[in-house]
Structure 1
Amino acid sequence: MNEILYIVMPCYNEEDVLAETSKRLLEKMNKLISDNIISSESKVVFVNDGSKDNTWKIIEEYHKKNPIFLGIKLSRNRGHQNALLAGLMTAKNYADMVISLDADLQDDINAIDEMIYKYYEGNDIVYGVRSARKTDTFFKRFTAEGFYKFMEKLGAKVVFNHADYRLMSKRALEGLAEFEEVNLFLRGLIPMIGYKTDVVYYERSERFAGESKYPLKKMISFAFEGITSLSNEPIKMITKLGIGILLISIVMIIYSIIQYFRGATVIGWTSLLASIWAIGGLILFSIGIIGEYIGKVYLETKHRPRFIIETFLNESKGEINKEKS
């Protein structure tokens, strides 16, 4: 026991919640340190993902007041997954274990204790899984749970009702570093690492303050990103759908020939028009999905950095500039 823990928190326009978040985490860290569960060298790392408000200034103030708080400032907004990866890849150089956590206080920080105990039992990855979604609206709950089930149907292995609240050992983080995808979907990548895993259940709370960073449009985009990043099942579905339409067309041709020899006159303008529009729409949809995959291949071949760290605040070195990955 008594190993170094780093808590990594991506932040985008979180000035409304940082005061309460830092207060609760400081209490939690001090308690864990005093109980000799984690090392006194343990830290909380805030990752500023190009925030437009005072988030970074607040992080700098916390760092000056208490060296337990560290700050990473990305050169620009790169999105939640890239910001989280930047924090994880930085923390793995200093910590024995790292817990990722959102800044909005919806994830119960009391689950951290059990995660750490699971780690000491020999688990390299411990997933925080929501036991209930009582605070979510019916629509949010229905779409979220439907997303996990749909991902599984398409062959993408994700942990049901798990977001990005998890503990990872240094060994697991080194395994994650071997994945070089530009199109990131960590919820699907991390189960691919392997090693021994376990689960901790907790109840998700309402957001303490501020607005959600995942409105419906962004949620749909995130879901589509996850599906196309982890599975090629949509392309297989297009093939199956094409074969199905071909078989229906053959049946309709045979039916039309039979009707012709029977002397029956079939006008069929409406059905013909509907068929043309339906098949045309299907073709465009299919091209769009295939194009999405081609676009991902295009981005992967460029090997662009997934993030660039402009500033890294820590208690011993002050600032380290222009790190990238």
Structure 2
Amino acid sequence: MDTSKLKICILTAAYNEEQNITTFYEAVKKVIEKLPFLFEFCFVNDGSKDNTLSVLKTLAAKDANIKYVSFSRNFGQQIALKAGIDAIDADAIVMMDCDLQHPPELIPKLIDIWLAEKVNIVNSIREEDKDLSWFKKKTSQWFYKILNKISDLKLEAGQADFRLIDRQATQTLKNSKEHDVFLRGMIQWIGYKQAKMVYTPQKRHAGESKYTFSKMFKLALAGITSFSVKPLHGAIYLGFTIAFLSLLYLPYVLYSLFTGNYENGWSSVLLTIAFFGGLNLIILGIVGVYIGNILIQNKERPLYIIQEQNIVER
């Protein structure tokens, strides 16, 4: 294979990252200019409210290998990456964050594994970050354990959106029309030959993480509901279990009724009503999430809206 003709695209999603983009571009370019491949950048501006788009336009004016896509509003990182995948025509795509937590120095290693092992996808596994809070570490561990138990996916803890995918995997992802985009799950679901690389995350160059607790919860919910219907099965099993347990209380009720040995109390009644009312709401909520996903999917709204871009549509 003539590697000099291989085209590799560096894909990143940017939301309010004006302080990081130029530094990220320069750091990556310093690494890739030494490699015998054709490279280009694709930045997806995810509805930033700062000067992210202006910085991208300035860089694109200086370097013809910089492509950008700008959304009309914020759609989320996963959808932004999907938009980049849809727009790119390359032999391989390297997805990474532009805050420099994904080390640019590891790009050659990703490519070497791809070519040497002849795989379609090279995933990265993040080593435990000692600076992460106890809460974030535990919630991440719990998420992967729960997802692996209630779905057919087997995601390794620490799997990140820092990966390489080849043209065949890219085309498969382009054909996906799902609205709840969870790329880590989709990457595992599509199969193909995959390899992995362990890396140590760097400190964020500037700014703060855009992944709030609510966004992480939404991503986790999308991961679970997109690849498993076991929560619905669990709701059924839970309903039958509680119904069976409630029957065990029936003999006591009948005995008390016939012997007149019972007390009029409201606390036990309120507790029972509150418990079963809360349980019903939980089960209805689980069902509602799936029905909501069906509703959104059937509306067939576009996954994202591009306000402007410098990529010529093919």
Q: TM-score range by the shorter chain?
A: over 0.9
Query: Equivalent of 2:128, from 132, 146, 153?
Result: 132
Within 2, Cα distance between the matches of 1:239 and 1:128? 37
* 1:193 aligned partner: 190
* 1:104 aligned partner: 99
**1:20 has 2:17 as partner:** no
Within 1, Cα distance between the matches of 2:302 and 2:262? 64
Moved more, 256-265 or 14-23: 256-265
Within 1, Cα distance between the matches of 2:74 and 2:206? 21
* 2:108 aligned partner: 113
SS of residue matched to 2:286: helix
5+ residue gaps, structure 1, are: none
1:22 is displaced (CA, Å) by 1.3
* 1:308 aligned partner: 305
1:263 is displaced (CA, Å) by 5.4
SS of residue matched to 1:127: strand
Q: Residue deviations 1:12-62, cap 9 Å, x none?
A: 100111121111111111122xxx2x23xx111111111111000000111
SS of residue matched to 1:110: helix
1:190 is displaced (CA, Å) by 1.5
Q: Residue deviations 1:121-159, cap 9 Å, x none?
A: 211011011122222111111111211111112215134
* 2:14 aligned partner: 11
Within 2, Cα distance between the matches of 1:57 and 1:114? 32
1:250 is displaced (CA, Å) by 0.2
RMSD, aligned CA? 1.8
TM alignment of 1:115-194, pairs within 5 A:
115-120=110-115, 121-155=117-151, 157=153, 158-194=155-191
TM alignment of 1:218-257, pairs within 5 A:
218-257=215-254
1:310 is displaced (CA, Å) by 3.0
Contact 1:15 1:54 in 2 (8 A): yes
Within 2, Cα distance between the matches of 1:310 and 1:261? 74
**1:30 has 2:26 as partner:** no
Contact 2:85 2:173 in 1 (8 A): no
Q: Residue deviations 1:100-139, cap 9 Å, x none?
A: 1111111122222221112112110110111222221111
5+ residue gaps, structure 2, are: none
Provide the identity percentage: 35
Within 2, Cα distance between the matches of 1:259 and 1:118? 73
Contact 1:156 1:227 in 2 (8 A): no
SS of residue matched to 1:162: coil
Within 1, Cα distance between the matches of 2:97 and 2:76? 13
Query: Equivalent of 1:60, from 49, 57, 60?
Result: 57
**TM-score between the two structures when normalised by the length of structure 1:** 0.90
* 1:87 aligned partner: 84
Within 2, Cα distance between the matches of 1:172 and 1:277? 49
Contact 2:85 2:174 in 1 (8 A): no
